[in-house]
Amino acid sequence: MISVIAVYPGSFDPVTNGHLDLIERGSKIFERLYVAVLRNQDKDPMFEIDERLDMLRQATSAWPNVEIDAFNGLLADYARDKQARVILRGIRAVSDYEYELQMALMNRKLEPQVETVFMLPAEAYSFLSSRLVREVARFGGSLRGLVPPAVEERLRKKFR
Ligand code: PNS
């Protein structure tokens, strides 16, 4: 394990097994990994910030060097405050690349000391996104194996 602090930012609305796969991979490499949920987003989220933090805390409790947190404003400022040298992001497919490239280069412009590191989730999750999870849940489809059971339960309650 390298003595580098990393930040894994996102909306996590809700956390999926793809996110958790990446968190586990990151926790094995970095000394400390902050999973940082963006608080004030333009998007209208399905889950309130506290619910998203709760689900993440529950799902990551086995990894002691993972800390769940929320942030406001610029990610580059948050990373600097946490003395993080790395922003961790997942890339599932080529279609993710353009958006991720823009974000990584903007974050580098804002904070040149922080490097964006991309990791690949397990192939089994390469099609998975929070948006699809919300859509499947809305129409009552099964999410077994795609989100933690506690997340599936909360989704089911939303649409009951
Ligand atoms: O899971 P998402 O929605 O793809 O995550 C996007 C996120 C939260 C990482 C991104 O929107 C973000 O970092 N927002 C904070 C505002 C910011 O720093 N913007 C400038 C850099 S692109």
Dihedrals φ, ψ of 91, to 5°? Answer: -120, 125
What distances in angstroms separate CA 17 from CA 36, 100, 123, 129, 146, one per listed residue? 17, 20, 12, 9, 5
Pocket lining: 74 vs ligand 1, CB cutoff 6 Å:
yes
- Rounded to an integer, the average pLDDT of 32-45 is 91
Pocket lining: 10 vs ligand 1, CB cutoff 6 Å:
yes
Residue 160: predicted pLDDT: 82
> Tens digit of pLDDT for each residue in 73-108?
999 999 999 999 999 999 999 999 999 999 999 999
* Tokens of residue 151, six digits: 């997340």
Residue 90: predicted pLDDT: 98
**What 3-state DSSP class applies to 66?**
strand
> Tens digit of pLDDT for each residue in 2-26?
799 999 999 999 999 999 999 999 9
- Ligand 1 mutation target, pool 7, 72, 75, most atoms within 8 A of CB: 75
Pocket lining: 26 vs ligand 1, CB cutoff 6 Å:
no
Nearest CA owner, ligand 1 atom 9: 10
Residue 43 pLDDT > 90, yes or no?
no
Ligand 1 geometric centre to CA of 11 (Å): 8
**With bands split at pLDDT 50, 70 and 90, how would you rate the model's confidence at 40?**
confident
**DSSP labels for 95-144?**
HHHHHHHHHHHHHHHH-TTPEEEEEPPPGGGTT--HHHHHHHHHTT---B
Catalytic residue numbers read 19, 43, 92, 130
> Tens digit of pLDDT for each residue in 58-77?
999 999 999 999 999 999 99
* Tokens of residue 96, six digits: 């993710």
**What 3-state DSSP class applies to 39?**
coil
**With bands split at pLDDT 50, 70 and 90, how would you rate the model's confidence at 41?**
confident
Nearest CA owner, ligand 1 atom 10: 10
Would you say the pTM of this structure is higher than 0.85? Answer: yes
Instruction: Work out the percent of the chain whose per-residue pLDDT is above 70.
Output: 100
Pocket lining: 15 vs ligand 1, CB cutoff 6 Å:
no
Sign of CA dihedral 66, 71, 74, 77: negative
